[in-house]
Structure 1
């Protein structure tokens, strides 16, 4: 199994209350059940307010590297990520467990 973690940081001056940001969050939430490769899926806004904190997180799992590639290349994932490119940056970690 591979855990796929993503942490998003909203760009300077961008608020999570903006409609485009809320639409981006809804797009990621909608991936649950949409992409067959996902064996685990959760995403949510960070609830703490610390200077080093990121704003939004995805915690997901897939069976193997091939499944991870299919997930990343899936049109629904690509569309959701494209929305976030407009207002955020992110870091990822993929590890086997």
Structure 2
């Protein structure tokens, strides 16, 4: 199994209620069920007020690296990521477990 973790940081001046953010979150929430490679799917807003914390997290799993690759290339994922590029940056970690 492969764990796929993504931590998002909203750009300076962008708030959670920004319509672009709301659309981006909805797009990622909708991926579960649209992309058959997804085995587990969790996402949500950070509840910590620490200054070094990221704003939003996605925690998912896939059977193997090839399934993760298909997910990353899936048109629905690509469309969601394109939305997020307009208002956030992110870091990714993928590991076997």
- State TM-score, norm by structure 1: 0.98
Aligned length: 97
Is 1:96 aligned to 2:96, yes or no? yes
Coordinate RMSD, CA, aligned = 0.5
Please report how far the alpha carbon of residue 47 of structure 1 lies from its aligned counterpart in structure 2 after TM superposition. 1.2
Q: Equivalent residue for 1:64?
A: 64
Output the CA distance in 2 between the equivalents of 1:49 and 1:13. 17
Q: Secondary structure at the match of 1:38?
A: coil
Output the CA distance in 1 between the equivalents of 2:27 and 2:49. 24
The Cα offsets for residues 27-65 of structure 1, whole Å up to 9 and x where unpaired, read as: 000011110000000111111111000000000000001
Q: Equivalent residue for 2:29?
A: 29
Output the CA distance in 2 between the equivalents of 1:65 and 1:86. 27
Runs of 4+ in structure 1 displaced over 4 angstroms?
none
Output the CA distance in 2 between the equivalents of 1:57 and 1:75. 21
Q: Equivalent residue for 2:86?
A: 86
Q: Equivalent residue for 1:40?
A: 40
